[in-house]
């Protein structure tokens, strides 16, 4: 029972310290190293279970059951070692001849255990139980442990040498593998001399605690960097989309909003009117007088300058309102907030400026203002049409001056 108690305790501690790894989806679908580490953790859990079960069954002296569990014990050991090698290769992300050799050794060890288990069914070369239920180690058992000692020591030595030339940021990753290899080597040696003590489980527990300290911290740090990079890319994408949207909704000549932006604004205002979310707004429709004459007599470049001059005059007057160019010589301003409250003064000042321009031969722009009436206006278009009509009235007045 003492034997099983140690293995059960190791299993519980193993689950506690790796709880985040076992339940977190990031380790399943994250980096290859994170996925390999999670698989390794499950492999060690199976070994702990087989080791704990072995202690309980050994006390019953039921040879058939304890023999079957011993077979599971050695298979679980082989799988955990194989998973450890797979994890080391992905964690350190090394590409060398040694990595190929290490990978081959993992497969060889897995195949070796399988072959030994088959042979042991006919000849007790790995282990046996006598009629009294006593466990006896076979000669091949020592070969299994010797193979692992060589595997762990060689890996630890190689990684330690490589760590000397590694960057300081990843050196701790190398040292974690080195310490794990040394711990497992010591505990395997003790297991050789004390076959009825759970030294291998204790070694796995100590080694995995060390790995967890370095590995999970590094994986979380890698995840943090991935998230930061994702946020950075999303921000760049957002800026790019914002820039593209700005270009798509900006008039290339005057730099005010264009027809596409105006259509969206009209749709938005209609929705706000339908939902009762807007109480007041005004619409000013503008039309540039004499643009055709400027184009015909002075050329289109002069006409473009005339349009820009007219637009600047509108924007200077209605500084707090969006201005849209909806046609060659037509503009619209949507008044809300401060400009809406001051609309009468603004339109009067604008008209005075236009009349001064008419006398001075500068840009002349007709304008018409209309305000939203909740009782009778069920769409933006109704307000626009009143403003447009007033603009034409103003246009006729200016031509008559």
Write down the pTM of the prediction. Answer: 0.54
Asked whether residue 157 is assigned to any structural domain, the reply reads: yes
CATH number at residue 277: 3.30.70.270
What mean pLDDT value characterizes the chain? 86
Query: Do the domain assignments include residue 278?
Result: yes
Residue 334 lies in a domain: yes
Confidence of residue 228 (pLDDT cuts 50, 70, 90): confident
- Residue-wise pLDDT for 112-138, tens only, equals 999 999 999 989 889 888 888 888 888
Residue with tokens 């288990």: 117
Across the range 220-239, mean pLDDT stands at 71
Checking if the pLDDT of 240 tops 60, the result is no
Bridge partners of 136? 128
Confidence of residue 1 (pLDDT cuts 50, 70, 90): low
* pLDDT band, residue 221 (cuts 50/70/90): low
3-class SS of residue 257: strand
- Between the alpha carbon of residue 162 and those of residues 194, 200, 385, the distances in Å are 34, 27, 79
Do 293 and 170 reside in the same domain of the chain? no
Question: How much is the pLDDT for 223?
Answer: 65
Q: Are residues 224 and 271 in the same domain?
A: no
Whole-angstrom distance, CA of residue 57 vs CA of residue 390: 99
What's the pLDDT tens digit per position in 44-103? 899 889 988 888 888 888 889 999 999 999 999 999 999 988 888 887 776 778 888 888
> In this predicted structure, what is the pLDDT of residue 210?
82
Q: Note whether residue 179 is domain-resident.
A: yes
pLDDT tens digits, one per residue of 262-289: 999 999 999 999 998 999 999 999 999 9
Residue 167 CB: number of other CB atoms within 10 A? Answer: 7
Residue 383 lies in a domain: yes
pLDDT of residue 27: 60
| pLDDT value, residue 17 | 84
Q: Do 223 and 305 belong to one domain?
A: no
Same domain, 224 and 296: no
Contact assessment for residue 303 and residue 291, using Cβ atoms and an 8 Å cutoff: yes
* Residue 198 and residue 134 in one domain: yes
Tell me: do 31 and 138 sit in the same domain: yes
Please list, residue by residue across 229-242, b when 16 or more beta carbons sit within 10 angstroms of its beta carbon and e when fewer do. eeeeeeeeeeeeee
Total count of domains within the chain: 2
327 with 204, same domain?
no
Under DSSP, is residue 310 helix (H, G, I), strand (E, B) or coil?
helix
Residue 159 has what pLDDT? 83
Conformation bin of residue 73: beta by default, left when phi > 0, alpha when psi is -120 to 50: alpha
The answer, yes or no, to whether residue 215 has pLDDT greater than 60, is yes
CB-based contact 153:146 (threshold 8 Å)? no
Report whether 339 contacts 294 (CB < 8 A). Answer: no
Same domain, 174 and 271: no
Strand-pair category, 135-137 with 282-288: unpaired
Pair (45, 134) in one structural domain: yes
Based on DSSP, count helices (H) and strands (E) in the chain, helices before strands.
Answer: 15, 6
Q: What is the CATH number of the domain that holds 212?
A: 1.20.1070
Is the pLDDT at 242 greater than 70? The verdict is no
- Picking from 233, 251, 276, the residue at the C-terminal end of a domain is 233
Residues 11-22: what's their mean pLDDT? 83
Asked if pLDDT for residue 316 goes beyond 90, the answer is yes
Q: Are 230 and 106 in contact (CB under 8 A)?
A: no
Do residues 83 and 194 both lie within one domain?
Answer: yes
H helical segments located in 133-198: 139-163, 168-193
Asked whether residue 180 falls in the same domain as residue 320, the answer is no
What pLDDT is attached to residue 341?
95
391 with 325, same domain? yes
| Residue 64 in domain | yes
The domain containing residue 373 runs over which residues?
259-400
Residue 245 lies in a domain: no
> Does 248 reside within a domain?
no
């Amino acid at each position: 029972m003492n034997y099983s108690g140690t293995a059960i305790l190791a299993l519980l501690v193993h689950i506690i310290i790796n709880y985040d790894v076992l339940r977190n989806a990031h380790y399943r679908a994250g980096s290859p190293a994170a996925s390999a580490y999670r698989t390794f953790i499950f492999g060690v859990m199976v070994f702990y279970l087989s080791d704990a079960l072995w202690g309980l069954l050994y006390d019953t002296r039921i040879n058939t059951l304890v023999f079957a569990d011993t077979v599971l014990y050695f298979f679980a050991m082989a799988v955990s070692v194989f998973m450890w090698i797979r994890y080391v290769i992905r964690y350190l992300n090394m590409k060398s001849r040694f990595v190929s050799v290490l990978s081959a050794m993992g497969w060889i060890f897995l195949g070796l255990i399988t072959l030994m288990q088959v042979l042991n069914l006919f000849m007790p070369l790995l282990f046996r139980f006598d009629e009294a239920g006593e466990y006896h180690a076979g000669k091949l058992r020592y070969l299994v442990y010797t193979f692992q000692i060589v595997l762990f020591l060689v890996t630890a030595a190689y990684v330690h040498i490589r760590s000397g030339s590694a960057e300081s940021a990843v050196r701790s990753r190398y040292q974690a593998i080195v310490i794990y290899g040394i711990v497992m080597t010591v505990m395997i040696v003790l297991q050789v001399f004390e076959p009825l003590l759970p030294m291998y489980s204790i070694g796995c527990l100590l080694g995995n605690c060390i790995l967890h300290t370095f590995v999970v911290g590094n994986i979380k740090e890698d995840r943090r960097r991935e998230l930061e990079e994702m946020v950075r890319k999303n921000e760049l994408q957002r800026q790019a989309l914002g820039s593209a949207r700005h270009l798509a909704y900006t008039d290339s000549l005057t730099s005010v909003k264009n027809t596409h932006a105006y259509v969206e604004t009209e749709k938005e205002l209609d929705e706000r009117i339908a939902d009762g979310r807007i109480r007041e707004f005004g619409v000013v429709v503008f039309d540039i007088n004499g643009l055709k004459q400027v184009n015909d007599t002075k050329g289109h470049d002069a006409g473009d300058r005339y349009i820009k001059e007219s637009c600047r005059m509108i924007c200077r007057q209605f500084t707090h309102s969006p201005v849209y160019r909806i046609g060659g010589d037509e503009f619209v301003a949507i008044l809300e907030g401060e400009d809406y409250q001051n609309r009468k003064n603004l339109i009067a000042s604008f008209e005075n400026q236009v009349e001064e321009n008419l006398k001075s031969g500068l840009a002349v722009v007709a304008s018409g203002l209309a305000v939203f009436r909740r009782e009778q206006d069920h769409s933006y278009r109704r307000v626009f049409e009143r403003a447009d009509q007033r603009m034409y009235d103003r246009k006729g007045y200016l031509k008559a001056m």
